[in-house]
Amino acid sequence: VKIVRSIRKMQLLSRDARLRRKSIGFVPTMGALHAGHLSLIRRARLDSDIVTVSIFVNPTQFGPHEDFKKYPRMLSRDAALCRKEGVDFIFYPSAAAMYPKGDKTFVTVEDLSSKLCGLFRPGHFKGVTTVVAKFFNIINPDVAYFGQKDAQQAIIIKQMARDLHMPVSIRVLPTVREKDGLAMSSRNLYLSEAERRGAVVLSQAIREARQMIQKGVRNPRLVIAKMKALIRKKGNTRVDYVSIVDICGLNPVQRIRGKVLIALAVWMGKTRLIDNSTVEVPYA
Ligand code: AMP
């Protein structure tokens, strides 16, 4: 695996691969790689001739009081994992190079970016779409891989690629979980032992919701109330949101039918965790 820090160099390597008619699979990450990231990398390795993984803790997607500074950084460990997975390039740029002094251009997907997490993290998705658009211009991938773990992010990126006619397909892969159900996340490293045990409540609440819906409950308010009650029972939690929304517009549904997204964001102590699941029920 080759670690590429220079944007120009990365662009030349991507162009060279393209000229040799190699397909490029791209996995954007913020590093501190775990099995969730590895599932995306493995898929890319199966699909593409060249696999590029970016590792970049993107400052523009963090709010002023968020965890940008303390976000885990472990390049040599990540590089060893990438090498083992047969990754060709790790793109590891500096923030100064990604955001040149005097830059004035940002990419915003309107409407979708202000729902769910966007309400609690203003500017977050603008940071995400801007950096991913930059990556696409530097890496020129045929396929880019994203996790269902960040469902809203995946929906927003798809919308961006479609609206801007970006010549890339977006593939979304299932959430990888710990044995007890907790969705893997680099932020799980922040959790104390007690918080880690409590964090299982996110996936438990989703499981409870799925069971209620399977038993025929169609009123989202009843499902959400049950989920919130479960979460509240665990100490040291604070709910940002628990929502059941349509998967196109991310708007709260009045009744559960068709395909809906159950999504939640919950603070475990000082750590903000998210999880989600889609559910499909017949329209009748
Ligand atoms: P991050 O490094 O957290 O920005 O995540 C990089 C990519 O990995 C994003 O597309 C995430 O959705 C995806 N990802 C993170 N955690 C998981 C997980 N538990 N399962 C599947 N994909 C994940």
State pLDDT tens for residues 26-50. 999 999 999 999 999 999 999 999 9
Are 162 and 129 contacting, i.e. CB atoms less than 8 angstroms apart? no
What is the predicted pLDDT for the residue at 260? 98
Q: Tell me the residue type at 166.
A: M
Q: Is the pLDDT of residue 284 over 80?
A: no
State pLDDT tens for residues 52-102. 999 999 999 999 999 999 999 999 999 999 999 999 999 999 999 999 999
Find the 149 Cα to ligand 1 centroid distance in Å.
6
What is the predicted pLDDT for the residue at 257? 96
Q: What are the backbone angles phi and psi of residue 215, rounded to the nearest 5°?
A: -80, -5
Pocket of ligand 1 (CB under 6 A): 29-30, 36-37, 39-40, 146-147, 149-150, 175-176, 183-186
Long-range Cβ contacts of 153-160 (<8 Å, 24+ apart): 153/125, 153/128, 155/112, 155/247, 155/250, 156/109, 156/112, 156/113, 156/125, 156/128, 156/129, 157/128, 157/129, 157/132, 159/109, 159/112, 160/107, 160/109, 160/129, 160/132, 160/133
State pLDDT tens for residues 177-211. 999 999 999 999 999 999 999 999 999 999 999 99
What's the pLDDT band for 283 if we cut at 50, 70, 90? confident
What is the predicted pLDDT for the residue at 222? 98
pTM: 0.98
What is the predicted pLDDT for the residue at 63? 98
Find the 273 Cα to ligand 1 centroid distance in Å.
13
What span, in angstroms and rounded, lies between the C-alpha atoms of 207 and 200? 11
Closest atom, ligand 1, to C-alpha of 176 = 20
What span, in angstroms and rounded, lies between the C-alpha atoms of 27 and 25? 7
What span, in angstroms and rounded, lies between the C-alpha atoms of 72 and 68? 9
Q: Which two tokens mark 87?
A: 């990754």
Find the 278 Cα to ligand 1 centroid distance in Å.
17
Q: Maximum distance among all alpha carbons in the chain?
A: 58
Q: Which two tokens mark 239?
A: 């709910």
What's the pLDDT band for 170 if we cut at 50, 70, 90? very high
